[in-house]
Structure 1
C-alpha cells in the first residue's frame, strides 16, 4: 500500500488535533444553557418570580400563562426562576416539586403525563409507559402528589401544541389539570403554560380559559440591537478571543431579527457557523459561514422531520406533493394509487384526514379552506418545502423506491 495515501478519516482527525479550535465552551451555545444574567428581560423575570412567590410562603400560586414568539426568552426565564425557587426551598420542610415537559417533544397526551409521572418518581410499574386510560394516568399522578403532600408546579412548554392535541383527541387533560386541586386532599398543583401563540386559547373550553389564565405575562420580541448584545456576550464566553468577526455577529443578529426577534435562532446560527469554520480550518467566523449555517439549519430541520415519519405518513406527503394545492379527496385518490405502487393496504379516508392534520401541525404542509359558493367549502393542501427535499430524503427508503 502506498504510504503517501492518507486515509480520509485520519486526515480529518489529524486536522482536528493540529488545527485551531474556535469554540472553547459549546454548552454556552446550547439552548438549554441558562446564563447568570438574562439581558433585556428584567421586568419579565420579576413578573414570573412574583407570580410564583406564594409557594415560598407555603401556599399555592395562581396558574400562569407565559406568551411570546419563539426565541424571546420565555423558557429561559421560567426555568431560571424555578431553579432559584428550588435552591431557596432545598433546606425547608415544605415539599416542593418542580416538573417540566415540552408538549411538542412528547407528541402524545399519554407521553406528556408519563413524563410528569417519572419526575414524581413513579416507576414503570407504578405508571406503565402505555396501556392505561388517560383518566387512570391522571389519577395516579394526583395519587403521588397526595401521598407525598407535594406542592407541584407543572411547567408545560409549547402548551399551544398540547391545546391542538386536546382539540383533535377530545381528551381535555388541560381541564383535568386546572381542576386537580379540587381532588387533592393534601398538596397542590400549579400549572405554568408557555406558549408561542397568543391566540391559542381560542380553541380551549371556556372553563379552562378562566382557570388556566389566572395570571398572564407577555414576552415582547427582541430588537436586532438586543440580539446583537446577547450574541456578543455568548461569543465572548464560548469562542476563543477574536474568533467571531463583528460582521458575522451583525449578520446573525439581522437574520434572527427578521424572524420575530428570535434570539435562539441567532445563537444556533452562531454555533453552526463556528462549527463550519472549524471544519474549514478557518481562524475566524465570517459572514460566509453564517450564510452557510443558515442554509444548513433549514435543510436539517426539514430532513429530520421527514425522516421520522412512518410509511403511511410518508405516502400522504408524497400524495400532497403529486397533487399540489388539491383537496383532501384528490389527495386520498393519489395516496391510494401510491399504496398500490408499494403493495400496501390503504388506510381509511378518515384516518388520512387525521394524518393530514397531524402533518400540518409540524409545518411540512399548509392547508386552507376554499369557499366554493353553492358547492360549499373544501380544504386545499400544499407542501411548504421543496419536492426535491422530499424526494432526496425518501430515496433511502427501499419501500418507496418504485414510486419516487
Structure 2
C-alpha cells in the first residue's frame, strides 16, 4: 500500500520527530543575550546614549552598515537595557522604534510615531492633516508629557526618499526639535544600510543628525561561522548540523558582504527542508537547495509586488539593457502604447528607476562620456527568464513579454 504523504508528515509531527527544538532562535527578530563580534559597537552606542540615564539629552546618532551586520539588533538590545533601568527612576524616558521601509508614506511614518506616543485617532487621524500639523501635534505631546524620547528610525535612507523634499524637511525638523521644545527632549538615532546616504542630505541635516556616528563593518566568514554555531546550539538538537553544511552556510553568506541575517535565514530554511525530508541531519545539499529556493522566492515575490508601471519599466530595462535613462524611457513609452496605458512623466520614471534599483532587481552604473558629461545606464541583475516567467500570466503584460 502506498503511504499517504499528508499522513506521513502529520505522523512525524505527532511522534515528535523534529531536528529543530527552537525555531524562534532562527528568526531575524530574535534578540540573543550575547551579540557576538560587536563589543566595540555596543560600547560606542551605549556611551552615546548614556546621558539619558543621567537625565540629560544624548547627542543625535547615525548608525551605518550593510544589511545583516547587526545594527538593529545592537540598537534594540541597548534600548531594552536602558528601558529596564529607566523604569527604576521617575525620569520619563520613552523609546520609540519605527522602520521607514515598512511605511509607504511619510504621513504613515509620523502617525506610527504618534501612536507610540499614545496619541489616539481623534488626536492624530490616519489621514487628512498637513505634515507640518502632524509634526506640531507630535511635539505638543512630547512637551505636555515632558517625555525624553530616544527615537530610532531604521532604514532612515528611505525616509529621505518617501517624498524627497518633504522627507528631508521632516528630517531637519526632527534633528532641530529640541529648539522648539520647552519641556522634554528628542534624540534621533538613524540606522542606515546606505553608506552614501549622507551625501544626498541637506548640509543642515548632516551637521545636526550625525553629532555622533557608529559604523558596523561586514562580518568575516569565521565570525559568521561562530554566530551560526551559537544559534545552532540553541535551535537544533545536538550533532544535527553537519560541519560541512555549517561551513558552506557561512561561506555563502560571507560572499554576500558578510550578512549574518542571510546566514541565519539560510540555516533555518535548510533545517526545514531537512525536516520535511525526514532527514536526521542538515547536510550540504540542504544548504544548496535552501539558497536556490530563497533566491527564487525573493526575486519572484519582489517582481509580483510591483505596480503596473514599475513592471513596465522592468520589462523596458530587460528589452533595452545597458541603455541610458532616456533610452529606457523611450522603450517604456513604446510599451505603454502597445498596452494602451497613459505613460508617466520622465521625471517620475527616473524616480521609479532609482526606487527599483534600491530593491536590487536592476542596477545602474554611471558612465563618463567625456565632453558629453555623465549618464547612468541600467541593466537587470536577475535573469530575463525569471521576469518572463513571473509576468507571463498577467493579462496586461502577456502581449509584450
* Fold match (TM-score > 0.5): yes
Q: CA 1:34/1:110 → structure 2, altered by over 3 Å: closer, same or farther?
A: same
Q: CA 1:350/1:202 → structure 2, altered by over 3 Å: closer, same or farther?
A: closer
What is residue 85 of structure 2 aligned with on the other side? 88
What is residue 338 of structure 1 aligned with on the other side? 335
Tell me, yes or no, if structure 1 residue 187 matches structure 2 residue 184: yes
What is residue 102 of structure 1 aligned with on the other side? 99
Q: CA 1:127/1:10 → structure 2, altered by over 3 Å: closer, same or farther?
A: farther
Aligned partners of 2:21 and 2:236 also within 8 Å: yes
User: Which of residues 14, 17, 22 in structure 2 aligns to 1:20?
Assistant: 17
SS in structure 2 opposite 1:398?
coil
Q: CA 1:66/1:275 → structure 2, altered by over 3 Å: closer, same or farther?
A: same
Uncovered stretches (5+) of structure 1, i.e. residues with no partner: none
1:248-397 alignment to 2 at 5 Å? 248-397=245-394
Counterpart CA distance in 2 for 1:335 and 1:9 is 47
Tell me the C-alpha RMSD between the 2 structures. Answer: 2.1
Aligned partners of 2:61 and 2:189 also within 8 Å: yes
Alignment coverage as a number of residue pairs: 401
TM-score (structure 1 length as normaliser)? 0.92
Alpha-carbon distance, 1:171 to partner: 4.2
Alpha-carbon distance, 1:376 to partner: 4.4
Counterpart CA distance in 1 for 2:7 and 2:396 is 36
Uncovered stretches (5+) of structure 2, i.e. residues with no partner: none
Moved more, 305-314 or 218-227: 218-227
Counterpart CA distance in 2 for 1:338 and 1:248 is 46
1:166-245 alignment to 2 at 5 Å? 167=164, 171-245=168-242
Alpha-carbon distance, 1:267 to partner: 0.9
Counterpart CA distance in 2 for 1:154 and 1:195 is 14
What is residue 113 of structure 2 aligned with on the other side? 116
Aligned partners of 1:167 and 1:203 also within 8 Å: no
TM-score (structure 2 length as normaliser)? 0.93
Tell me, yes or no, if structure 1 residue 154 matches structure 2 residue 151: yes
Alpha-carbon distance, 1:240 to partner: 1.5
Counterpart CA distance in 2 for 1:292 and 1:139 is 52
Aligned partners of 1:166 and 1:173 also within 8 Å: no
What is residue 398 of structure 1 aligned with on the other side? 395
Moved more, 316-325 or 168-177: 168-177
Alpha-carbon distance, 1:318 to partner: 0.9
Counterpart CA distance in 1 for 2:352 and 2:246 is 41
